[in-house]
Amino acid sequence: MTVRAPLTTLECAVEFVLFVREDGYTALRAATPDGAALTAVGAQLAGARPGEGLRLTGRWGEHRRHGAQFAVEECERRPPAGVPAIRRYLGSGLVRGVGPLLAQAITERFGEDTLEIIDRVPGRLSEVYGIGERRTRRITESWQAQKTIKELMSLLRGYGLSPLLAEPIHRVFGHESLKTVAREPYSMVGEVDGLAFAAADRIALQAGGALDDPARLEAAVWEVCAVRARRAGHCHLPAEQAVLEAAALTEQDPALLREAAERLTVGRGAPLSAEQHPATGEPLLAPRALRRAENKLARALALLAAAPSDLPEPVRRRVAAGQFGDGLHPGQREAVRMALTHPVSVITGGPGCGKSHTVREIVELVRAGGGSVTLAAPTGKAARRLSELTGARAVTVHRLAADPTAGEDGEEALFGPRTTMVHLIVIDEASMLDVHLAARLAAAIPPGTHLLLVGDIDQLPSVGPGCVLADVLRVPAVPRTELTHVFRQAQDSTITANAHRIRAGQPPELRRADFWFAEMDDPAQIARTVVQIATERLPAKLGADPADVQVLCPTRRGAAGTLELGRLLQDRRNPRQDNEPEYWSGSRVFRVGDRVMAARNDYAKGAAGVFNGTLGTVVDLDLKDGALAVLTDDGEQVDYDFAQLDELIHAYAVSVHKAQGSEFPHVVAPLTLDAPALLTRSLLYTLVTRARRTVVLVGQPRALRQALENPGPARNTLLAHALAAQLDAAADPD
């Protein structure tokens, strides 16, 4: 029988944070009043800041790797005691406008009264040199926001929820946050990242809400139809499936959920659309915005397909006469002819089949005939790679749809006068297009311009909802060419050969110099091995820079997911340094030197915007102004406010989905059965094709078999039906 250590209460001040888990479990270093150091762990510590005073109740224990730890069961937070602690607290990045130097100046002026001055008479901050009216206002607003966040944390703890939800809630609802949590918790469903129906439901029910509250039932339907369905890539759900899932969530009669679903579809501003499947007549529920996007995209593509071509006459003559591409494979020649004959067309094919070379021939042919071409891809990385492969300038699809000068130098793309229009637009990596982005792009292209989609439908579908490329290919009226011939140079690559084997559902050839599978079963051991291979063994063997080795994961969670592996890799490649600044945002810590990736599009950043998938390195961390600077791999420096850090993810380990459109010299990837539903053939195929020189898989043989045998779930979309109907109507206007 194990004897538990007795409960102990102690006072301490936080020195620095060691680790924060997504559920709020935190490890930190602290010092007692007599100067003794200790490591404290527990969920009650979430949100603690350097300098903050804590009164902890818990038990001493021994961790097999980290030694003595104080496991916290209760935590009472107290203001920092003493000027040094106040200075550390203010200078930690907690309060915008105050960094370590200004914190020192403020505490030198006000001493132990500093926090009371900021809280009650902030106007006195102007007594400190360098603090004017604008900075005083900034400090005051930030201080009040932190007070609200602390109250939110306490409130969330009371409901048994992670206090780390406080900051995302405050970002969305601001000064209304406390009222929203207390009075309208269901309004947060679908609005706050990381807050699902179950969290809002816990708050409402503990506050005395009724099980059949209409707001509760409607929030459950919205969670199923919008939040969960969108996460799975669906544009709609069968109505009965949605009702039954919502009924299971709420444990209520499905009849009540049907009524809730109907309420969400009534009126012009209703968030859901109710309709019937055009082929089966089955009732459907869909977020109205997604249905609008699908219909908008179908109309735009049909309009482009029916319009007379504006290609210059010399181009059309050469194509008709077959005066192009003497060195092309017959499949490539057919692809060139198709793209320059039909206003909307698709080129598909696997790796090594010459898609990029075909695009280059098309570009050269159009330009030689006096036409203009714009190349684009969904991410900056993919656009840069397209430019390198074709020798032509390429931009992101987002920029193409948003920026009227995104075309060739000196021309106005899309929105310009007809005399300066782009004659051909090529979208590479088209499998990455979600329905919203594709609709926005297609609607911006003037009729007469040719649109060529290039992609590989065996890759993972888009991160966002829909499967645009596959849906377009389901419409027989859309011209397409599949390139199947694998060229000799590509045949010599084990990676390319294995990619085609995986594409066909066949096991890859393992234990080659450039393609290796290290078999082991324990996920924790798999994670440690991945870290060792990525940071030590592979760089030593190949003489490679560790920065050229990218870890890709099928899932975010688990011992070998991006969250845990990213933390381990960060600790190895960019560990905490004494006297160097760092900033904790939720469960993540940012340091100078960190590899990061943009997780969202931001058109206002940089010269041409920063887009999802952009990679970079943190080059500055300003605790005073509450911002960090990222030098992107494109050589541009962009700033992120601390409140915008949810737009960045650490890039030490990223999901395969996030890596779409990118290529890396060397890829190391764990394969475990922690999330078997995510192990699909398209995921494995996408993973392998991200590597140029080396692939190392580490994991369970059963996981590899699972991925090969599972083609992946289909997505619920109506684009193919809508596009076919629009094309039929255009072909037969009567």
Q: Does residue 53 contact residue 80 with C-beta atoms inside 8 Å?
A: yes
User: b/e string for 228-258 if b means 16 or more Cβ within 10 A?
Assistant: bbbeebbbbbebebbbebbbebbebebebbb
Query: pLDDT for 322-361, tens place per residue?
Result: 888 888 999 999 999 999 999 999 999 999 899 999 999 9
Q: Is residue 79 very low, low, confident or very high in pLDDT (cuts 50, 70, 90)?
A: confident
Residues 6+ apart with CB under 8 A from 669: 530, 551, 552, 553, 554, 656, 687, 695, 696, 697, 698
Average pLDDT, the chain: 90
Q: What angle do CA 731, 732, 734 make, to 5 degrees?
A: 150
Query: pLDDT for 145-154, tens place per residue?
Result: 988 998 999 8
Query: pLDDT for 471-484, tens place per residue?
Result: 999 999 999 999 99
Q: Which stretch of 64-78, 273-287, 447-461 has the lowest confidence by average pLDDT?
A: 64-78
Backbone phi, psi, residue 478, to 5°: -85, 120
- Cα–Cα dist 616/723, whole Å: 39
- Closest CA relative to residue 586, chosen from 639, 637, 650: 650
Per-state percent for the chain, helix, strand, coil, to nearest 5: 45, 20, 35
Q: Where are the beta strands (DSSP E) in 64-199?
A: 67-78
* pLDDT above 60 (res 539): yes
Annotation: binding site: 352-356
Of the chain, the percentage scoring pLDDT greater than 90 comes to 67
Query: pLDDT for 566-579, tens place per residue?
Result: 999 999 999 999 88
| pLDDT at residue number 90 | 87
- Closest CA relative to residue 296, chosen from 403, 438, 414: 438
Query: pLDDT for 231-242, tens place per residue?
Result: 999 999 999 999
* C-alpha pair distances (Å), 178 with each of 43, 120, 150, 386: 21, 21, 10, 48
Taking the mean position of all CA atoms in its chain, how far away is CA 11? Answer: 40
* pLDDT above 80 (res 488): no
Q: What angle do CA 211, 214, 216 make, to 5 degrees?
A: 55
Q: Is residue 411 very low, low, confident or very high in pLDDT (cuts 50, 70, 90)?
A: very low
| pLDDT at residue number 490 | 58
Residues 6+ apart with CB under 8 A from 231: none
* C-alpha pair distances (Å), 420 with each of 395, 407, 446, 570, 627: 18, 10, 12, 49, 41
Which DSSP letter does residue 59 get? E
| pLDDT at residue number 410 | 36
Average pLDDT over every residue of 533-541: 95
* pLDDT above 70 (res 534): yes
- Closest CA relative to residue 566, chosen from 16, 46, 21: 21
Taking the mean position of all CA atoms in its chain, how far away is CA 238? Answer: 27
Query: pLDDT for 107-147, tens place per residue?
Result: 999 999 999 999 899 899 999 988 888 889 988 998 899 88
Which one is predicted more confidently, 591 or 99? Answer: 591
Single-letter amino acid code for the residue at 219: A
Residue 8 β-bridge partners: 58
- Closest CA relative to residue 689, chosen from 513, 534, 509, 500: 500
Single-letter amino acid code for the residue at 334: E
- Cα–Cα dist 267/273, whole Å: 10
Calculate the dihedral angle through the C-alpha atoms of 103, 106, 112, 117, rounding to the nearest 10 degrees. -110
End-to-end CA distance of the chain: 86
Number of neighbours of residue 121 by Cβ within 10 angstroms: 10
- Closest CA relative to residue 656, chosen from 687, 615, 700: 687
| pLDDT at residue number 715 | 95
Backbone phi, psi, residue 428, to 5°: -90, 165
- Cα–Cα dist 151/565, whole Å: 32
Strand 549-553 versus strand 664-671 pairing type: parallel
| pLDDT at residue number 489 | 63
Q: Where are the beta strands (DSSP E) in 169-290?
A: 237-238, 272-276, 283-287
Please report how many Cα atoms fall inside a 13 Å half-sphere around the Cα of residue 638, on the Cβ side.
28
Q: Does residue 706 contact residue 554 with C-beta atoms inside 8 Å?
A: no
Annotation: binding site for ATP: 352-356
Average pLDDT over every residue of 274-286: 95
Which one is predicted more confidently, 534 or 142? Answer: 534
- Cα–Cα dist 20/33, whole Å: 24
* C-alpha pair distances (Å), 585 with each of 48, 76, 145, 478, 493: 11, 22, 15, 47, 42
User: b/e string for 19-31 if b means 16 or more Cβ within 10 A?
Assistant: ebbeebbbbbebe
Backbone phi, psi, residue 339, to 5°: -65, -30
Instruction: Using DSSP, state whether 81 is helix, strand or coil.
Output: coil
Please report how many Cα atoms fall inside a 13 Å half-sphere around the Cα of residue 213, on the Cβ side.
16
Which DSSP letter does residue 315 get? H
Query: pLDDT for 363-400, tens place per residue?
Result: 999 999 999 999 998 877 788 888 888 878 888 888 78
Which one is predicted more confidently, 66 or 257? Answer: 257
Q: Does residue 235 contact residue 716 with C-beta atoms inside 8 Å?
A: yes
- Cα–Cα dist 689/350, whole Å: 9
| pLDDT at residue number 403 | 54
User: b/e string for 448-477 if b means 16 or more Cβ within 10 A?
Assistant: ebbbbbbbbbbbbbbbbbbbbbbbbbebee
Which one is predicted more confidently, 380 or 500? Answer: 500
- Cα–Cα dist 301/441, whole Å: 10
Please report how many Cα atoms fall inside a 13 Å half-sphere around the Cα of residue 734, on the Cβ side.
0
Which DSSP letter does residue 165 get? G
* C-alpha pair distances (Å), 24 with each of 41, 43, 188, 337: 10, 5, 20, 58
Give one DSSP letter per residue of 542-585, joined into a string: HT--GGGEEEEES-SSSTTSHHHHHHHHHHHHS---TTS-EEEE
